Structure formats: structure tokens, C-alpha cells
Copies of this chain bind each other. A is one copy, B any other.
């Protein structure tokens, strides 16, 4: 089966899916004004395969069959570097917004591939072949995929089975020969309104009493009982002049309700094996945080690039404090890039014959990005000036009685015109001081694992013994 074109991808979204926006059922997501933007954006992931200069990166062939590189099982550093480069490229085309419809799903498929084999080996189940078939289904049909992981969690001091309301984590409410019935709700589910398949995996480790919550599966988005309540965040109409990034690039999240959804066994990948909930949750994260740091690269590059431009356009590029801030921004961006690449170069072979990025390094990269992101915004705003919040409108540039004032009074250092300067100011506004900027900022802290989750991973992954023994050998030997 050939790769799908962007148009084919978009057409595939016109089905019976149950999507709500501002209290209203959306009859056709491809026609919805805001969702339309998100869908065109996600289609970038499909368009790359059609661009000659990107074909080699975007597409691989197996036995003469082309398929998206996202589905390539990583077996070397180079595989990971290529995957990272592809994610970076599509996000760059997406104006810093990740496309995600192939990225996150394949992160999940890689984790399922690994954990299914582990589960079969440990517990005598037969998930391996099932996952393999489903993997081929997604790959061969070039599907768009979403992953629902974060449960609503209820009282966070209690586990899934200890909650007053048993549905605070997605769970199996019944099972029969055909499959399982699931209930619950996931939040922060990205690209679900414009995916073909929705994957569901646990959000945390579980204990034996939580067995019904140890559940993983995949369903078509149009499955009965699955209800997607889309967030209205950042969906007001915009023009490209004032919002050069967000006017045409958008990702949707949903509150994802499973109101007794039936899943046939062939699509069930974990059902009660509570011991494997933690490994699956973490296994996904192992790949997904690598995706995350890869797709953050265009974002940090744009912060750097915009800062250099504004320094130049404003004529302050030689000021000591401006240089200091530029250096900080360069270090911020390039340390992320170096750590991201390094995690691929130092990848670790897994028992299943794959490789995974070096987890400690990935988490340090993500933590580096996340914990300094807001400071980066501050520096870019500082260099840009107050116009980032007080610039005139696109229409003012078009009004004959006003355009002259704008051209005269808002020009940058020669030869930069007022329009060039204001376009860059607007980019900075969109990037650092807008609804869209807020979205990026919240994602920086919470997406693909919170800052605290990354810190825990750093402590968990680090082996202190060499350092401890070094300290003891020096302290105790004298």
C-alpha cells in the first residue's frame, strides 16, 4: 500500500467520530474553522514524503515497499539521529509546532513492541504477535495516531483502585470472548481529533489491586462510546501578519471520554498484567521524551534567531547586555541540541534487538529545556522591546492615512524597514507573549512528563556507585 498524500489523510478524517467544540458536536472536523487549521498543520507530516529534497529522510523502503521512516524500528544511533532529524524537520515546517500524528504513535508502538515481548516472556501471554500485526496495520496504511496516557487521577494521594470513584483511571469494566469494555477519561490527548487511531496506555506503575487499570489498547477514533471534548484554547481567528506562527499552525487537545467503549481482543495489548503497567508507561516515555527534545529544536532556534534579528533591527546588537543575552540563548539552544544528539550517539541496545536513546541524557536534555524556557522568553522580550505588546495592527499598515506614520516612525536600523521590523516584532509576540506562547510554555513544563518527572528519572537512571566509591576511596583510605 502506498504512502498517503496530505489530501488522503485529510479525507480519512471525515467519519463518524464524536467530537465536541464549545458544547457542540462537530459534524465534520475537516470543515471546522479551528480544526481545519490543525488538520492542515498535521498534514505536513504527510507532505514531506512528496517533497523530493526530503524524501530520503521521510521515507524508507523495505522489500521495495516504501513506508514512513517513523515506523522504522531503531537499531542504531543513526536510526535515532534520522528519526530526530525528521521530527525536527516537520516541526520546523510547522513553525515550531510539532505535527505529532506520526511521532507520538510510533513512540507508543516502539514501547508496545518491547513490552509485549517482555510480558509474553514473563507471563506467558501472546501480545507480541498481536502488536506486530497492529504495527504493520498502522505502517502499511500510513495512519495518523494519537496516544491517550494521562488519566484524570482524582485524589492524587491514592492509587487507581483506592479512589472513591473507580473511574478516575481508565479501566476494564468487563471482558468477554470478543474483547473488553473500558470506561474512564484521559486528558491532554493531543491530535486525537485529527488522528485515525487512538492508542491508550497506562499513566503509571500499578499494584496487584489495580489490575483492571492495567490496560492498553488501540481503537479507531470513530469507535462508539469514545467522546472527544476539544479544548477551546487559542482558537480565536487570527491574521498572519500579527500571528505569523499561530495563524496557520495549531494542535488540539481533548478531554477523551471512554463511555463504555468496546475493544476487540486483537486490539488489546495489556489487560490485567499490572506488573507491566509501569514498564509500558516508562517504555513509552523513553522514546517520547526523545521525540520531545527533537521537536523542541526549531522552537529554541527560533528564539535565538528572533533575538539576533531584533538586536540587529533595533540597532542594539553591540550592547553588552544584549550580547550577554544572545550568548545565553545560544548556549540554551545548543546545549539542548548537543544533549539530544548525544543521547542518540550513546544509545542503549534493548533485549528486544532495538536501541533506545540514553535515558539519563534525554531527561537531562528535556529538563534543561523545560527549566530555562521561561527565562529564554524573558530575554527575547527584553531584546525586542515594548512593541511586543503595543504594536499597531496589520490594517494600520494598509490604511493610507496611517501607513506613512508607521513607515516613518517604526523603521529599524537601516536598511530594515518598518514592516520588516514589525513583522519580526509580531513573530516575537506570537512566540513569547500570546495565547500560543502560553501554550508552548505550559507544554514546556508539562508535556511528555513534567519537570518533576524528569528530575525523578534523572535520579533513577543515574548510577551513583562510581562516584560514591571514588569519594569513599579518597576519604577512607588515608
Binary interface encoding of chain A residues 395-414 relative to chain B, with 1 for a CB under 8 A from any of its CBs, else 0 = 11011001001101111011
Task: Convert A372-391 into 0s and 1s, putting 1 for each residue whose CB lies closer than 8 angstroms to a CB of B.
Answer: 01110110011001111111
Choose among B23, B319, B409 the residue that contacts A185 (Cβ–Cβ < 8 A).
Answer: B409
Tell whether, in the assembled complex, residue B327 and residue A229 are in contact, meaning their CB atoms are under 8 Å apart.
no
Asked if A1 is at the interface of the complex by the 8 Å CB criterion, the answer is: no
Is A459 close to B, CB under 8 A?
Answer: yes
Which of A255, A316, A323, A439 neighbours the largest number of chain B CB atoms within 10 Å of its CB?
A255
Q: Is the pair A331, B255 in contact by a Cβ cutoff of 8 Å?
A: no
Q: What 10 A-B pairs are tightest by C-beta distance, nearest first?
A: A320-B320, A433-B438, A23-B395, A305-B467, A305-B471, A23-B399, A240-B478, A389-B442, A386-B446, A253-B390
Q: Which residue from B302, B314, B338, B368 sits with its C-beta under 8 Å from A156? A: B314
Can you sample 9 A-B contacts with CB below 8 Å?
A: A23-B395, A24-B399, A167-B409, A233-B389, A305-B466, A321-B324, A330-B464, A342-B345, A434-B434
Q: A23-B399, A232-B392, A304-B467 are in contact. List 14 more A-B contacts (CB 8 A).
A: A152-B410, A156-B314, A156-B413, A245-B474, A255-B392, A255-B405, A298-B470, A301-B467, A306-B475, A319-B320, A321-B452, A324-B455, A327-B458, A386-B446
A399 touches B439 (CB 8 A): no
Contact in complex: A320, B324 (CB < 8 Å):
yes
Within 8 A of B (CB), among A333-362: 333-335, 338-339, 341-342, 345-346, 360-361
With beta carbons under 8 angstroms apart, the residue of B21, B187, B301, B390 that contacts A233 is B390
Interface window among A100-108, A119-127, A422-430: A422-430
Q: Which of A233-263 contact B (CB under 8 A)?
A: 233, 236-237, 240-242, 244-245, 247, 253-255, 257, 259
User: Are A462 and B334 in contact (CB-based, < 8 A)?
Assistant: yes
Find out whether the CB atom of A405 lies under 8 angstroms from the CB atom of B227.
Answer: yes
Cα–Cα, bound, A429→B232 (Å) = 12
| A27 within 8 A of partner (CB) | no
Interface check A83, CB cutoff 8 A: no
Residue of B whose beta carbon sits closest to that of A410: B152
Q: Would B330 and A458 count as touching, CB distance under 8 A?
A: yes
A301 to B21, CA, bound (A): 34
Given A257-B409, A455-B327, answer yes or no on A377-B308 (Cβ-Cβ < 8 Å). no
Q: Which of B22, B301, B361, B434 contacts A395 (CB 8 A)?
A: B22
Closest CB-CB distance, A341 to chain B, in whole Å? Answer: 7
In the bound complex, how far is the Cα of B229 from the Cα of A408, in angstroms?
14
Instruction: Answer whether residue A367 sits at the interface, using C-beta atoms and an 8 A cutoff.
Output: yes
The contact of A334 among B298, B361, B408, B439, by CB within 8 Å, is: B361
Report B-chain residues with C-beta under 8 Å of the C-beta of A255.
390, 392, 405-406, 409-410
Chain B residue contacts of A240, Cβ below 8 A: 478
Contact of A341 among B342, B411, B434 (CB under 8 A): B342
Copies in the complex: 4
The answer to whether B462 touches A411, judged by C-beta atoms less than 8 angstroms apart, is no
A436-478 interface (Cβ within 8 A of B): 437-439, 441-443, 445-447, 450-452, 455, 458-459, 462, 464, 466-472, 474-478
Q: Does B331 contact A364, Cβ atoms closer than 8 Å?
A: yes
B392 and A231: CB pair below 8 A? Answer: yes
Chain A: residues with Cβ within 8 Å of the partner, total of: 142
Q: A320-B320, A377-B374, A378-B374 are in contact. Are A331 and B367 (CB under 8 A)?
A: yes
Residue of B nearest to A333 (CB): B467
List of B residues within 8 angstroms of A61 by Cβ? none
Are A387 and B187 in contact, CB atoms less than 8 angstroms apart?
A: yes
A360 to B475, CA, bound (A): 36
A22 to chain B, nearest CB (A): 4
Once A232-B393, A374-B375 are accepted as A-B contacts, the answer to whether A426 and B475 lie under 8 Å apart by CB is yes
Q: Chain B nearest CB: distance from A353 CB in Å?
A: 24
CA distance A185 to B386 in the complex (A): 15
B305 touches A464 (CB 8 A): yes
For A92, the chain B residues whose CB sits under 8 A away are 470
B386 and A187 contact, CB distance less than 8 A? yes
A309 close to B (CB within 8 Å): yes
Q: How far, in whole Å, are A367 and B188 apart by their CA atoms in the complex?
A: 36
Chain B nearest Cβ from A396, distance in angstroms: 5
Is A450 a contact partner of B382 (Cβ separation < 8 A)? yes
